[in-house]
Amino acid sequence: MNSYKLVSREYKEQDTIIEINSAGKPVFIGEGYCTIIAGPCAVESREAYIELACFLKSAGVHILRGGLFKPRTSPYSFKGLGEQGVSIMAEVRKITGLPVISEIMDIRDLDKLYDDIDILQIGSRNMQNFTLLEELGKIDKPVLLKRGLSATIEEWLLAAEYILNGGNSKIILCERGIRTFEPYTRNTVDIGAVPIIKNLSHLPIIVDPSHATGKWKMVAPVARAALAAGADGIMVEVHQDPDKALSDGKQSLTPQNFVTMYEQLTKIAGIAEKKMQY
């Protein structure tokens, strides 16, 4: 018997489909849908974020991303606008009618994020922050759980089990590459994890090709591969001027590059019998 129970196909054979409708039109994440999440690595300013968010909505994006509390390897790197950025995302959410996602690093920030952020992201570094997982299991809000830097698929599913065991079944898994011996890319993309998760679990799974590769030229090819493998969506980083981005510029798409990729993904979604929602 699997060490994880509630996230398994044995426990629930039917696919979990998550509905998010707190911002405008309902957005669905799960089998049969192709959900596109996009935005900058970090919210850098009100004007720039509003401009980019409006563009991304016109380009067909379903959910807007934006980092506010950033876990950075170096203490000297830009770590986000913090609480100041929450009001910016709340404003953009109102302007565009699109739901928003941002990372939570500390349960003490939950009150700051809860009302204005539609999906709370647990980053790879916090995948096994069990105290945080348990607390997010107590809330009625979708949680996107990224795979840890060196986590096995079983460890990843057990992390999701912590959340579901607390009562929150609105969990989205996100493959973002794992650390291996290969230094060419930021991480090694585990495309095989997509069909494996689809077989083992009823939870939806998306892929983040930006963090997985660390190189913008590789984002679109990996995104295409992810959809072809059965992923329920893609999360990518987009910036108006990647060379001047305060974080992760090398893996960020320009708006035009995003449009090109989106057109490609629309075709693949059709072949994979996944619906682009609007």
Encode pLDDT of 65-89 as tens digits. 999 987 777 887 777 788 889 999 9
The answer to whether residue 5 sits within a structural domain is no
The answer to whether residue 254 sits within a structural domain is yes
Encode pLDDT of 126-162 as tens digits. 999 999 999 999 999 999 999 999 999 999 999 999 9
Q: Which domain holds residue 163?
A: 18-272
In the chain, what percentage of residues exceed pLDDT 90?
Answer: 88
Encode pLDDT of 29-71 as tens digits. 999 999 999 999 999 999 999 999 999 999 999 999 999 987 7
CATH code assigned at 33: 3.20.20.70
The answer to whether residue 277 sits within a structural domain is no
The answer to whether residue 13 sits within a structural domain is no
Q: DSSP letters of the chain?
A: --S--TTBTTT--SPP-EEE-SSSS-EEESTTEEEEEEE-SB---HHHHHHHHHHHHHHT-SEEE-BSS---SSTTS----THHHHHHHHHHHHHH---EEEE---GGGHHHHTTT-SEEEE-GGGTT-HHHHHHHTTSSS-EEEEPPTT--HHHHHHHHHHHHHTT---EEEEE--B--S--SSSSB--TTHHHHHHHHBSS-EEE-HHHHHS-HHHHHHHHHHHHHHT-SEEEEEB-S-GGG-SS-GGGPBPHHHHHHHHHHHHHHHHHTT-EE--
- Judged against a pLDDT cut of 80, whether residue 265 lies above it is answered with yes
The answer to whether residue 243 sits within a structural domain is yes
The answer to whether residue 185 sits within a structural domain is yes
User: What is the number of domains present in the chain?
Assistant: 1
The answer to whether residue 141 sits within a structural domain is yes
